[in-house]
Amino acid sequence: MLYQINKGSKSFGASSVFSDIQFEIKNVEKIAIVGRNGCRKSTLVKCINGNENLDSGTIHKQNNITIGYLAQKTLEDEDKTVLEELNEAFSEIFKIEEELKDLESIMKEDHSEKTLEKYALLQSKFEMLNGYSYESEMKTVFSRFGFNESDLNREVKTFSGGQRTRIAFVKLLLMKPDILLLDEPTNHLDLETIEWLEGYLKRYPKAVVLVSHDRMFLDDVVDVVYEIEYGKM
Question: Which residues, other chains included, contact 147 with Cβ-Cβ below 8 Å and sequence gap of 6+?
Answer: 82, 163, 166, 167
pLDDT over 70 at 81, yes or no = yes
Q: What is the mean pLDDT of residues 90-104?
A: 93
d(CA 220, CA 88): 31
Rounded Cα gap, residues 89 and 15, in angstroms: 39
| CA-to-CA separations, 29 to 25, 75, 209, in angstroms, rounded | 7, 28, 8
At 37 the pLDDT is 79
24-80 residue pLDDT tens: 999 999 999 998 877 688 899 999 999 899 999 999 999 999 999 986 556 778 889
Give the integer Cα–Cα distance in Å for 2 and 24: 8
Residue-wise burial string across 207-230, b where 16 or more C-beta atoms lie within 10 A, e elsewhere: bbbbbbebeebbebbbeeebebee
Q: With bands split at pLDDT 50, 70 and 90, how would you rate the model's confidence at 89?
A: very high
- The pLDDT value given to residue 66: 94
- pLDDT, tens digit (0-9, with 9 covering 90-100), for 123-169: 999 998 889 999 999 999 999 999 999 999 999 999 988 889 899 99
Could you report the per-residue pLDDT of 103-119, keeping only the tens digit for each?
A: 888 888 888 888 889 99
pLDDT in the model for residue 92? 93
Sequence length of the chain is 233
* Confidence at 221, pLDDT banded by 50, 70, 90: very high
Q: How many CB atoms lie within 10 A of CB 48?
A: 22
pLDDT-derived band at 122 (thresholds 50, 70, 90) equals very high
Which SS3 state, helix, strand or coil, does residue 156 take?
A: helix
